[in-house]
Amino acid sequence: MTGTRERILAASTDLFRRQGYTGTGIKQILAEAGAPFGSLYHHFPGGKNELAAATIARAGDEYAQLVAGKLLAGPDIVTNVRDAFVSAGQTLIDTSYADACPIETVALEVASTNETLRLATAEVFESWTVGLTALLEVAGVAAAEARPLASVILSALEGAFVFARASRTTDALEACGEAMAALVRAALERTADATR
């Protein structure tokens, strides 16, 4: 069955998210995936490094779709941005503050120690930024303002995850949700003024 590769990726996504890259052993991943040792090196000949690169890319795409879904679900972009932060907070509560961003911990761990994985995380972050930028432009934010604003929103989300997981409260996520909604509203008003 080829599902073994999928189970390994699912397990590594979970464990990297909770414990990081260096904190997660190959044996632990395989135990959670219910897969034998040899299977890993068959599907990922490059070992842990190749597995991590594949995990980052896959988890990054999945999380982008999850967040994008929230940003398109509600009535308007301002409300959706705030709700996305609130929703992320609810997920944290539901998972004992474990399931935040799937690649954040790994990104910080490898940024100065593993160039291959650093590039993998950089690509994911860039794709998120591009995606949110497009979404903001469609909603009416001026082209010149959209990318910096996307960058700020994503930074606030990642930063609020750090505070939330450390303090076990969603205060930072809620405060950031309100603040980011205000920034988007202000940007939309500026655009409306300029084109009036």
Partner DNA sequence: TCCTCACTAGATAGATCGATCTAGCGAGAC
Partner DNA sequence: GTCTCGCTAGATCGATCTATCTAGTGAGGA
142 binds a second copy (CB under 8 A): no
Q: How far is the CB of 79 from a second copy (least distance, A)?
A: 18
Look at residues 44, 114, 129, 1 and name the one whose alpha carbon lies nearest to residue 12: 44
Which of 19, 49, 155, 169 is close enough to bind DNA by CB under 7 A?
A: 49
Q: Is 47 in the site for DNA (CB under 7 A)?
A: yes
Site for a second copy in 99-118 (CB under 8 A): 104-105, 107-109, 111-113, 118
Which amino acid is it at 38?
G
> Total number of residues binding DNA (CB under 7 A)?
21
Q: Which stretches of the chain are assigned E, i.e. beta strand? A: none
Shortest separation between residue 158's beta carbon and a second copy, angstroms? 4
Tell me if 148 contacts DNA by CB under 7 A. Answer: no
Measured from the CB atom, the residue of 42 and 190 that comes closer to DNA is: 42
- In angstroms, the CA 88 to CA 170 distance is 9
Tell me which residues in 62-101 interact with a second copy (CB under 8 A).
96-98
Strands (E) in 32-107, as ranges, are none
Residues contacting 35, CB < 8 A, separation 6+: 4, 7, 8
How far is the C-alpha of 50 from the C-alpha of 131, rounded, in Å?
Answer: 26
Given 59, 67, 176, 181, the residue binding a second copy (CB under 8 A): 176
Which residues touch 126 (CB under 8 Å, ≥6 apart)? none
Query: CA torsion sign, 131 to 59 to 161 to 122?
Result: negative
The answer to whether the CB of 141 falls within 8 A of the CB of 149 is: yes
* Binding-site ranges for a second copy (CB under 8 A): 18-23, 96-98, 104-105, 107-109, 111-113, 118, 121-122, 125-126, 129, 148-149, 151-152, 154-163, 165-168, 171-172, 174-176, 178-179, 182-183, 186
* Binding-site ranges for DNA (CB under 7 A): 1-5, 24-28, 35-39, 41-43, 47-49
